[in-house]
Structure 1
Amino acid sequence: MQFRTKARAVDLLGKGQIADLPTAITELWKNGYDAYADNLKADLFKQGYNGLSKSYFVISDDGKGMSTTDVLDKWLVLGTDSKSRAELEEESEDTLWKRPRIKAGEKGIGRLSVAYLGNPMLMLTKKIGYPLQTVFFDWRLLENYNLFLDDITIPIKSVENVNSLSNEFFELKEMFLTNFEKEFDIDNKPIWEGKQAELKSDIISETENAIIEESILNNIISFFESDDAHGTMFLVFNPINQIVDLSEKDIDDIEDRNFVISNLIGFTNPFKESKIKINTSFIIHNKDLPYDLLQSKGEFFNESDFDLADIFIDGVFDGKGEFNGLIKFYDQVVPYTFVSSRKKDARSFYGEIPIRLGYNHGEEKSSKLNEVAYNKIKAKIEEYSGFYIYRDDFRVLPYGRSDYDFLGFEERRSKRAGTYFFSYRRMFGYLDISRERNSNLKDKSSREGLINNAQYRAFRNDAISFFVTLAQDFFATEPKQSIFRDKLNETQDQNKALAADKAREKAEKTAFTKSLNDYPKKLEEHQTKYEKLLNELDEKLENINITYSEVEGILDELQKLDLELKGLIPKVPKRYKPTETQKERLYKFENRLNNYIELVTPRKEALDKKAQDKLEIRDLKIDFTKKYNSYISSLEKSLNQYRQQLDEKTTFLNKNYRERAKRLVDALSENKEKLISSISTKEQISQYSEEVEKLYNKLSDEAGNTLFPLVDHIKRLSFDIDEEQVQGAYKAQYDQMKYQWEQTRDTAQLGIAVEIIDHEFNQLYAKINGQLIELNKNETVSSIKEFGFLEKNFKQLEDKYALLSPLYRISGALSKDISGQTIYSYVLEFFENQISEYNIVFDVSDDFRKHLINIKEPVIHTVFINIINNAIYWMRNKEQRIIKLDYITETKEIIIANSGEKIPEYRLDKIFELFYSQRPNGRGIGLYLSKQSLNEANLDIKATNDKKYNTLNGACFVINQITARNV
């Protein structure tokens, strides 16, 4: 006798062993990884996308694929042992000439998980040099308990030309439907009976209705069309509702979406640098732009995130109950050893397990990170926090999931956070197991974690004891060692001080913003009142017999308004750096005030002269005295106001100091008599002495952190040093240093990107040019009108690139004499289309045309391209669009001016800073590079509003020789 296998046994081994959707996808991705794929994809094509009549689901990989023999002898044979042997293959055609990989699968049944995804299914697979292999099947056929495996036909076809797939697919379906031709078994019993008759009807109906629509066919063709194509694809015609619903963004589905994402993210270990780079994606194709589901919640962790951890654990469990490694508290690292107290047993040896775990506080005040870094790691922790397990750099599910706290962190913390400290929701990191080191830590057959055997229980016991002991040693409210708590208190104090400083800065910012908002109204009121008084004065002075008493009140009011004029401009706090928008508004306000003063001053001076002519010397002397006194009064008023504020603040601080000091002394002395009277033994004296000393130290620390620093600060204050200005200066220096560091980093990345783009462009250009040459040989193609346009347009692109190409190779160019006429001709050619479109006029002097400048040609071309490109942008909305090029022979200065927007005074220097731009989507690189390149050529460039140069009243640039005076 021999065993016979019912068909439903395969169903039980496959879909019956899959816990959930992410597990099913992961099992198929594992097979792709084992087949040396670099890209593992899931694609949901929603109904309506590119005209699709229904939804489709596709799982694909670019692995080595399968031939007919591979499909028959491996894929259709369950429980193949090639993976479980864990033997490394040699680098060869079978590894796609890649580094050999340790297999992720081991049971030989992971392929059956495709049944979980829906029905029916079409598998397409291709090996290099072999034709495309196709398999069509509906896994529900296996649910029939009357069928044996040898009763079932699985249709397989080789497809020589993927473009004929539609026809081949029809034949595959016909072959599959032969499974239903037989109605009775050998005992003459019906094969399909009862509810299974309904199942049969559904399978036949869905098979007959299964079609490969055009969008799906195009996707398949693009994947397999080339001769060297390879890989495997599973096309599911009726995906389960859970898959289809992943594209919905309703609040009801958010939990399921998050569950799928949290299980599929971090497929291979991102926490450490790996030589094998695997890309995973889950693309949703709908009527909107396609997007990657796995990226919809933000980036996952990477190795550099450990640098952002407040606490970092890095070490190894030895498999016997001992941990050795390092613990980092903020910026301090200490070696740490832990030995489990459990009974040792050789049978519970689980092998070495490295651990790397980061931990961050839930409050910014307890972190040393700046706001940007803290928010970056906080966002990742909120989405992906957890303790992951990776076997041979491959994620083991469900570890790391938000609901799978397998070491019970939250359960312990809920009992007493001050003792157990660690929260599962605040940690990120992994345990690194391997098939070789940890052979007894095996997956459950259901893929729902590791088998709960003796080795797993021993490891879990050791890990739990380790974290409990570690918390007691360093992190508990009253730890055995105060290293961490001291650092935490120090950090919280620093952050508290910074928070208070930020609050003060915010208040100053709010006040400054309010003054900016109030300014227009104040100026308008001042202007209206001033002009009214001038009109009244003018009217009075028209009277021939005017007396001083008739104009005295008007002159007094005008003097008062003159004194108020100074206070109309909002005062910028010294510690606060205004935003660009606020600077812009302030600049406009100052312009408006200056225009007002320029307008009213001549009239005021004329009326003053008229008053002097009309009034007696005695009257004028009285008026002068009153003006003098008003200046004295105004100064006294300001000084007295600030003295009053000083008195009030001093009184408040004195009072507050006394109250705080009294509270501290009372806290130390309130139980003195009670303790003394309760002493009856020597042991109590020792105990109470320790308690009193501990309380004294605590209160002294509080005084040292609050009262004494304030007094020390006041002692250091001096009329000779503006503390606000000093603090503002240091803050500005810090902001500048941080800004420059970001510039340096971004510039390095930009340089690399430019090199890559330039390299790729050259390769792409060569390919297109070669293809055009070949096509041109074909008379039929070359005679097509559109081809002529294509060739002509490509030639224009080539000409533009020829203009740009020297700009990428400045270092190899030599300096030579370049005339202004040459520069002008180059600019006209480069901006030919824009000059024509915007009717731009070039005003070029003969002195500029004849001037020779000794410089590298790419440098001077880059300078003029950047400046004129900006000019064209800022002149777009002007009626007259003029660009002026001039050379002043006396001062040896080149002038580049335009009739566009005028540059505000405060921006004249700032526009040359790297990444500073006022243009939408501007990069702020051009003028910075121009200045740097000119400086290397012993030239300098500046922007100016000096009317000597800026005759067009727009933006104006001056290029001159660097001399000892302006170095």
Structure 2
Amino acid sequence: MATFKTRARALDLLGRQQIAGIPTAINELLKNSHDAYADKVDIDYFRSKDLFILRDDGIGMTKEDFEERWLTLGTESKVNHKKSLEPRIDPNKSYRIPMGEKGIGRLAIASIGRLVLIITKAKGQDRITAALIHWQLFEIPGLNLEDIPIPIQTFEALPNLKNINSMKSEVSASIDSLKDRGDLSENEYKSLQETLANFNLSPEDLNKKLVGKYDVTDIDNSGTFFYVSSIDPIINNDIDGSNKGKEATKIEKMLMGFHNTMTPEHPKPTLNIIFRDYRYDEEKYIDIIDRDHFFLVEDFEKADHHFEGKFDEFGQFKGMVKIYHEKTFDHIVNWPENNFKPTKCGPFTINFAYIQGRKVESILDPENHAIIKAKADKFGGLYIYKDNIRILPYGDSDYDYLEIEKRRNFRFSAFFSYRRMFGVINISHSDNGDLKEKAGREGFIENKAYRQMQNILKNFFIQIAADFFSSNEDSPKSELWNSKKTEITQSYKALEKREKQAKERKARFESNLNSFFKLHKENAFTEQLDILIKEISFDFKSISSEKDEIIAGQKVLDVESKSREKINEYRKSIIIPSPRGFYIKGELKKDYETYLEIYDDINTNIFEKSLCEIDNLVEGTISKLHIEINKRRRLEQAVEAISEQARKINSEKRKLANNSAIDISNRVKSLANELMIDLDDQIRDVKNKFKSVSIDDEPDINLVALRNALSDEITLISERNTNILDTIIRQLEGIYWEKDEENNYITNDQITGALSEELDSLREKINVDVELSQLGLAVGVIHHEFNSTVRSIRHSLKDLKAWSDVNEDLDGVYKNIKVNFEHLDGYLNLFTPLNRRLSRRSEDIKLLEVKNFLIDLFKSRFKRHDIVFKHTNGFAKASITGYRSTFYPVFVNVIDNAIHWLNESGISNKTIRLHADPDGSVYISNNGLDIKIQDKSKIFNLGFSRKDNGRGMGLHISNEVLESAGYRLLLDEPRDNSTVTFKISKVNDND
């Protein structure tokens, strides 16, 4: 009787050649870890070492388990059959449904690399099992499975390099034997031996260096480790991608979202997965599947629309649809294709969110819309989870299994886009047993069950789009989306218009300031006034030819009046009104403050002097002509001239106001007439439709429906008109002015301007807060990078020392590098207290420790600027309670400011003095430049600074940090021999 023989290449065909790619292979290994009841999986990929390591803390395997289960293809333990092996479980954990179905997922490792060392230990066992598999042997034609031995050994501890070399020798001997039998060509033999020779590692040593602790030597611990070498170089492309982060890489697409972590109240993930990519050296890595890069519950909840419900065993959907967070609809979607018979696919649930692609149609603020849209561009899609484990490749935006993008291509107005949705379809082994994965894990087998589920979902999206997101008036549930979208778009356009106007006003304001400063620098104001005074002087001289005293006197008064008007008109022309409708900050704010100072100076020293010069010309002309002018008459004419000018200006403004009121009135009347015409046209149209209806031939039920439809047409346009007119009425009623106690009028424009300034101020504060939070995150990253780099340099210095010990020429180079590195390392160590926010604790901090820290940090600057740094006995005895990371930056900031202003002062005996009171108050004083009176109330304001290129953040942030810790920073009266004193004190309940 003949039997099948199994070639070794069968394993290669079932494993490496069947798996879709390395990301899919890694996903299979993660599923195996899940089935092994692991809580965590650490993946470490060392590019420079050509080494891929996967470790889990699952139940592990004994030597017998490894041989009978792992090395047995098509393991029965994952198949429901009476002859099946009982699946291994962890009795201390909740039962997990096995995700593997065919017992060949382990062969996926061959897709990653040619050689794998497997180390495993079962809980409660004292022996560690190790096996070495040379996958390249299974690619050789003509070999049978029994021709390829797999060395298996057991150890009391993790194997060392000697143990691994012993296992390599067994594999090498089998390769030699195959070569001697003529089963291998010369090239095949060399390639196999080269791959084996390149595998040099000691798990014992390596496990001590790897991030993440896995101690399998303890009898109560367990786990399985895979060490894969001769890695397929395609993995680098799968990790790096090719679109500079805009598109998700293949690894990200396949490994992100292994568990559902995006929907509210999602099941707790069973695996904590970390994938460290060591790109350049063995110290620094990037976690390439960081959860924060994927959709979070917060992202899901912020989205514009939400859809959640269940498809029953007949394919009918029943659930809720929430539009723009405003209204939740209970909704049913029927699926008629199965004639209301139970489906093969079984019942399943859906829960997904959707964002509008255009910002102008979304309720999300610009920042959150940009963040979530960027995530959706990379990871958007509908993921399928089976018992909370992702089924590949569903969710990958390149795999449009519901043909959503295809429908958009055929019909541009189709609502849904695959890259704007994110959510889950939940299935289970118990309810959806006929949905079976392909062996290569590239989706479900396209049987009847899968096609039913696919058609149910296609029908669902088509119907939901028609019911809720249609511009057709026949879809009443679409009214909310249409009206809200219109409202959001109009609001966005209104804000955009306002911001454009504010930008234009700001540009004009800035241009006027620049023009003013240029004219001031060129001394143009003085020159122009000199020209005006010369013209005025000539006008007065021309009066001397008048012989009649009365006429001459009147001419003097007229010339004086016109002269003053000329000066005042010129003065008005250089006035820059205070900013309205936009917010100024930073350098522009400083420029405006400088303008006000310069204008006050010009007004006092130039314009007022010019007016005095006119008085002198009047007196000189009167004296020269020997005429008398009635002082009352002169005063009366001056008042009359001013009054006439005021009347003229107010008359012009009144005319403009009246014209505006008339224009608005005409526009409102025109709009009301237009709306009434629209309503009349609609009523006539409805009546015409009514005339064409044959009432006698229609049943009562159709007449009721017709009546409702005709009524709805009239009601719809009536409500539209009413809403428009209500909006206009509210705008007109919102025109507001009121006289205050000082007889000034407060108007809408002033209120809007104030609110606008407050809004811009808050936006600026938010931007600063975001910047600071990003800075804080960056500090954490930099701290890690510094530590990694410093460790690497230390190792390199040790290597260099070994060379310098035997080579005198290198000794000087080594010592020079060592001294400079220790100097740099000393500076880096100063940042340790600032980094303790990550794991900080409150403590009593001796103030002398603070001073020593400050000396270490600033000693070179103290020496360079010849500054004496002193403290009192009170300071030496005192301490302060709290976090070092709270107080140290405050002292650093205040001392840094003191050094700057001491250096600016130019004095010889520069001194900074520290003092403390028994009540815990701490004082920081210096004798540099004092703080101007007008600045004392501003120095803690965000953005205020007198330093060149200063950002005005230090004191503001220091004070906020202290306040959060129950302290405050304030400007105190200068202590003895000081010009500036800052005080740190506790906040009392009465404060």
Specify the TM-score bucket, using the shorter chain as the normaliser.
Answer: 0.7 to 0.9
AA partner of residue 388 (structure 2): D
Q: How does 1:796-807 map to 2 (within 5 A)?
A: none
Checking the alignment, whether the CA contact within 8 Å between 2:564 and 2:614 is kept in structure 1 is: no
1:581-635, Cα deviation, whole Å (9 max, x unpaired): 5334433433444455576579669867866875648689799778656654664
Aligned to 1:717: 735
Aligned to 2:940: 911
Cα 1:949/1:634, change in 2 over 3 Å: farther
Aligned to 2:854: 831
Q: How does 1:454-853 map to 2 (within 5 A)?
A: 454-478=448-472, 482-525=476-519, 528-532=523-527, 560=566, 565=571, 568=574, 570-594=576-600, 600=606, 614=620, 616=622, 631-632=642-643, 635-636=646-647, 638-639=649-650, 642-643=653-654, 645-646=656-657, 649-650=660-661, 652-654=663-665, 656-657=667-668, 660-661=671-672, 663-667=674-678, 679=691, 682-683=694-695, 696-720=714-738, 721-730=746-755, 828-829=851-852, 831-834=854-857, 836-839=859-862
> 3-state DSSP class of the match of 2:458?
helix
> 3-state DSSP class of the match of 2:446?
coil
Q: How does 1:149-164 map to 2 (within 5 A)?
A: 149-156=145-152, 161-164=159-162
User: How far is 1:102 from its partner?
Assistant: 3.5
User: How far is 1:337 from its partner?
Assistant: 3.8
Residues of 2 paired with 1:808 and 1:584: CA distance? 39
Residue 868 (structure 1) aligned to one of 894, 897, 913: 894
Checking the alignment, whether the CA contact within 8 Å between 1:32 and 1:62 is kept in structure 2 is: yes
Checking the alignment, whether the CA contact within 8 Å between 1:871 and 1:900 is kept in structure 2 is: no
Cα 1:274/1:619, change in 2 over 3 Å: farther
Point out the more displaced range, 435-444 or 522-531.
Answer: 522-531
Residues of 1 paired with 2:977 and 2:638: CA distance? 41
Aligned to 2:436: 442
Residues of 2 paired with 1:906 and 1:640: CA distance? 42
Residues of 1 paired with 2:130 and 2:938: CA distance? 67
Residues of 1 paired with 2:64 and 2:322: CA distance? 55
Aligned to 1:236: 229
User: How far is 1:722 from its partner?
Assistant: 1.0
Point out the more displaced range, 438-447 or 855-864.
Answer: 855-864
Aligned to 1:341: 336
Aligned to 2:552: none
Residues of 1 paired with 2:418 and 2:711: CA distance? 37
Aligned to 1:765: none
Cα 1:238/1:202, change in 2 over 3 Å: farther
User: How far is 1:431 from its partner?
Assistant: 1.0
Point out the more displaced range, 405-414 or 552-561.
Answer: 552-561
Aligned to 2:359: 364
User: How far is 1:31 from its partner?
Assistant: 2.3
Aligned to 2:789: none
User: How far is 1:389 from its partner?
Assistant: 0.3
Q: How does 1:212-361 map to 2 (within 5 A)?
A: 212=200, 222-223=209-210, 228=216, 231-240=224-233, 242-246=234-238, 258-271=249-262, 272-281=266-275, 283=277, 285-286=279-280, 292=286, 294=288, 299-329=293-323, 330-343=325-338, 348-361=343-356
AA partner of residue 832 (structure 1): I
> 3-state DSSP class of the match of 1:133?
strand
User: How far is 1:356 from its partner?
Assistant: 0.9
Checking the alignment, whether the CA contact within 8 Å between 2:307 and 2:321 is kept in structure 1 is: yes
Cα 1:483/1:585, change in 2 over 3 Å: farther
Residues of 2 paired with 1:674 and 1:482: CA distance? 21
Residue 135 (structure 2) aligned to one of 132, 135, 138: 138
Cα 1:399/1:15, change in 2 over 3 Å: same
Residue 926 (structure 1) aligned to one of 952, 958, 961: 958
Aligned to 2:188: 200
Checking the alignment, whether the CA contact within 8 Å between 2:869 and 2:913 is kept in structure 1 is: yes
User: How far is 1:661 from its partner?
Assistant: 4.7
Aligned to 2:423: 429
Residues of 2 paired with 1:211 and 1:835: CA distance? 51
AA partner of residue 747 (structure 2): D
> 3-state DSSP class of the match of 2:490?
helix
Residue 970 (structure 2) aligned to one of 935, 941, 944: 941
- TM-score of the pair, normalised by structure 1: 0.74
Checking the alignment, whether the CA contact within 8 Å between 2:151 and 2:167 is kept in structure 1 is: no
Residues of 1 paired with 2:939 and 2:267: CA distance? 41
Cα 1:656/1:264, change in 2 over 3 Å: same
AA partner of residue 77 (structure 1): T
1:96-130, Cα deviation, whole Å (9 max, x unpaired): x7665443323221111122234x32324253854
Aligned to 1:816: none
Residues of 2 paired with 1:738 and 1:862: CA distance? 29
1:171 equivalent in alignment to 2:169: yes
1:784-811, Cα deviation, whole Å (9 max, x unpaired): x999x99xx99x9899979x99x98889
Aligned to 1:782: none
Residues of 1 paired with 2:291 and 2:260: CA distance? 18
Aligned to 1:775: none
Checking the alignment, whether the CA contact within 8 Å between 1:30 and 1:104 is kept in structure 2 is: yes
Residues of 2 paired with 1:870 and 1:664: CA distance? 67
User: How far is 1:148 from its partner?
Assistant: 1.4
Could you tell me which runs of 5 or more consecutive residues in structure 2 were left unpaired when the two chains were aligned: 218-222, 546-555, 739-745, 781-814
Cα 1:857/1:672, change in 2 over 3 Å: closer
Point out the more displaced range, 160-169 or 367-376.
Answer: 160-169
Residues of 1 paired with 2:307 and 2:601: CA distance? 65
1:144-170, Cα deviation, whole Å (9 max, x unpaired): 442211122234456765354784576
Checking the alignment, whether the CA contact within 8 Å between 2:78 and 2:87 is kept in structure 1 is: no
Aligned to 2:804: none
Checking the alignment, whether the CA contact within 8 Å between 1:896 and 1:956 is kept in structure 2 is: yes
Cα 1:899/1:164, change in 2 over 3 Å: farther
Residue 382 (structure 2) aligned to one of 377, 381, 387: 387
AA partner of residue 153 (structure 1): P
> 3-state DSSP class of the match of 2:441?
coil
1:416-448, Cα deviation, whole Å (9 max, x unpaired): 576x64333321100112223333322122212
Residues of 1 paired with 2:24 and 2:239: CA distance? 19
Checking the alignment, whether the CA contact within 8 Å between 1:261 and 1:294 is kept in structure 2 is: yes
Residues of 2 paired with 1:952 and 1:608: CA distance? 49
Checking the alignment, whether the CA contact within 8 Å between 1:7 and 1:147 is kept in structure 2 is: yes
Residues of 2 paired with 1:21 and 1:73: CA distance? 26
AA partner of residue 728 (structure 2): L
Aligned to 1:818: none
Could you tell me which runs of 5 or more consecutive residues in structure 1 were left unpaired when the two chains were aligned: 185-190, 756-784, 814-821
User: How far is 1:488 from its partner?
Assistant: 3.8
Cα 1:44/1:851, change in 2 over 3 Å: closer
User: How far is 1:707 from its partner?
Assistant: 5.0
User: How far is 1:27 from its partner?
Assistant: 1.4
User: How far is 1:501 from its partner?
Assistant: 2.9
1:110 equivalent in alignment to 2:105: yes
AA partner of residue 577 (structure 1): Y
Checking the alignment, whether the CA contact within 8 Å between 2:37 and 2:89 is kept in structure 1 is: no
Residues of 1 paired with 2:476 and 2:936: CA distance? 52
AA partner of residue 209 (structure 2): S
RMSD between aligned alpha carbons? 6.0
Checking the alignment, whether the CA contact within 8 Å between 1:842 and 1:884 is kept in structure 2 is: yes
Residues of 2 paired with 1:302 and 1:540: CA distance? 75
Residues of 2 paired with 1:506 and 1:933: CA distance? 42
Paired residues in the alignment total 888
> 3-state DSSP class of the match of 2:398?
coil
User: How far is 1:346 from its partner?
Assistant: 7.5
Residue 904 (structure 2) aligned to one of 870, 873, 878: 878
User: How far is 1:403 from its partner?
Assistant: 2.7
